[in-house]
Structure 1
């Protein structure tokens, strides 16, 4: 199926939900309708039984953050704007039961950087750049960007990126552990499709729990991590895909997972 608005497109093919930020003339900058649409699209992917979500953009940008038109500042209460539009989108990505691939076709800046780094596997075109741009306009990071950067690269590098607001190449981002893969621009679509297809063929319930275990570990201590592992393993051990995986191992064949 294919749905969406002019600025956000959604489709599902072969168990892969594809969400495309589609405002190339505005460098896929975020309007409120795009953010509410992103939340709705992630929920729709779950309802449609998708087993992987891909988020990407059209044109020369992945997403350049908030759309800075004259109405952006409103009455000055940007916290209310964040609470209403940006935080729900960040939570929808974090809470997904389906693995998410973000495919960076171009620059990811501001809140767009936060959403880009929220992917479980981030694949970037070689020409893509990352930019924590908030300080350039007198703002602070939002959309989960502070947490993502601090957890990924540590205090020193995170502060350098946030305070100096300098562009980072895709290759430097990979070297810093911010993203998973860098490919030539012309190979981005094929690499994204390959990774998404592999994830969509794997045991979806286990993958969803793995992504949440990592979050639990980053947010807590060893006991918190052990508890998450124990609880999730109890659930995973009762799934069809676990039984299929064991039988495939015993029978020396490739497993056929159903995401159940």
Structure 2
């Protein structure tokens, strides 16, 4: 029968050096054995030294991408990445409400791992009120969780409080990624708060490397890939986390400065 192979969708920008954004998502889908489709929202010109230019796709083009995929494919899960302004977020929301593309993983690309704001306030407000309520899973980094929850996170209890605030915004399941920007730390703790109120922690070794571009994209794409296979949210998060850890640990030397993680490092991932 047609369309029986699991298919996942990335709704994100194209990163010209292949280390993050849509390219990282498609690398992840391929590694985890799902077919990857894409709705391209923007194009970024950059390399391992930084981003140097970008353009946003016309909204009419984005609408056509959604329609064409819905007319032919059976997308079983999707994820969002960087959505730069309110008009773009609203366009994605309108299309996701119109078409059935399965569970949605929202990677709220708001603040970098170093604390720099990426969205203007109007776009941030639209993301909170329009996109987050559609999320089956939301995966903020430490700083994004603080911004979304409007609070400082200083301990495990604070992280749980922040996760509860995100769930109250409409996200059904929340994964708050622990802080990982200190050279002297030994481990990273991520918190998962499930729809039924259960919680669990994912604790892993901290890897001190500059080869971490696309980590957040890859995690959210990994969750979407596993959901597309029919796995539970818990299983999807655990598989995606294990995949990301292995991809960071087994680094590849690509680019001169901040390089990509290793999407080939898939052995022993169940």
The TM-score, its normalising length taken from structure 1, stands at 0.31
Bigger radius of gyration among the two = 1
Structure with the higher fraction of residues in helix conformation: 1
* TM-score normalised over the length of structure 2: 0.31
Q: With a CA cutoff of 8 Å and minimum separation of 6, indicate the structure with the bigger relative contact order.
A: 2
